[in-house]
Amino acid sequence: MTNEMNGKVVLVTGATNGIGKVAALELAKKGASVTIVGRSAEKTAAAAAEIRQASGSSAVEFLLADLSVMAQVRRLAGEFLQKHNRLDVLVNNAGAYFSQRQLSADGYEMTFALNHLSYFLLTGLLLDLLKASAPARIVNVSSAAHTMGPLDFNDLMTEDYGMAGFKAYGRSKLANVMFTYELARRLEGTGVTVNALHPGGVNTGFGKNNTGLVKAAMKIFGRFSLTAEQGAQTTIYLASSPEVNGVSAKYFDKCKAVASSEASYDLAAQRKLWEISEKLIAV
């Protein structure tokens, strides 16, 4: 262990495997108190125990939530707030790809609910604590898939699913970047920064919740992709590096700020997405 993040409190969603788990481990090694979030009690408890052992830190705990369900996002935030009086880093990492169109418990298209609305709602519920803990950081894991095209506000729930879910996934990742930029503007002067990132093509459990050709394709993709350790580096960098102190409203790839898609910089679309998201989580 090092002491780079001693006294820092970190929350990482989607941390039972892949880049979320690696990021949680490395931040624990740096001395942070880490809370991981997962859906399965068995898997999440096992991941927390593994991170404790591998990091040598006892300050690793877990909370449970299905983040596609807005009521569970609210419960998660409430449980975290009961246990902690500060939050230095929020890593919104949980996400998935669905080859077939599904609806969440709230009736929303599953990709949009899990990959975007959970980021939006959880961040909003924890924002006062982040501000009170400033300087603090929000790290939103997006993807280069956000470049697939602009948002269609007439079809945010992707009724026309098509392309085996890639359209819905790309839109959700664009929503992550647009949310990042709009939130950064709203946080100016608070001491809380927010950035988005592309982790790279990573060989994790991602996409393997599907069946058939998609599952087979993911196996082939895994042979040529990054390891979880490699893919987590930008997340870890944005969560802990002093090089990004005060840096906000940026999109990172390989630990470098790069340009995101042209559509992601549309100010009117960013505001419209924010307003629609507020209405959806209120319902």
Least confident range from 90-94, 211-215, 244-248, 249-253: namely: 211-215
Chain position carrying tokens 């940026």:
250
Query: What is each CA distance from 165 to 102, 155, 176, 182, in whole angstroms?
Result: 10, 14, 17, 26
pLDDT band at 88 (very low <50, low <70, confident <90, very high): very high
Q: Is the pLDDT of residue 57 over 70?
A: yes
Give the dihedral sign, CA 227/199/62/168: negative
Distance CA 137, CA 4 (A): 15
- Contact predicate 12/36, CB 8 Å: yes
Q: What domains are there in the chain, each with its CATH number? A: 9-282 (3.40.50.720)
Catalytic residue set: 169
Pairing state between β 256-258 and 251-253: antiparallel
Better-scored residue on pLDDT, 1 or 154: 154
pLDDT band at 211 (very low <50, low <70, confident <90, very high): low
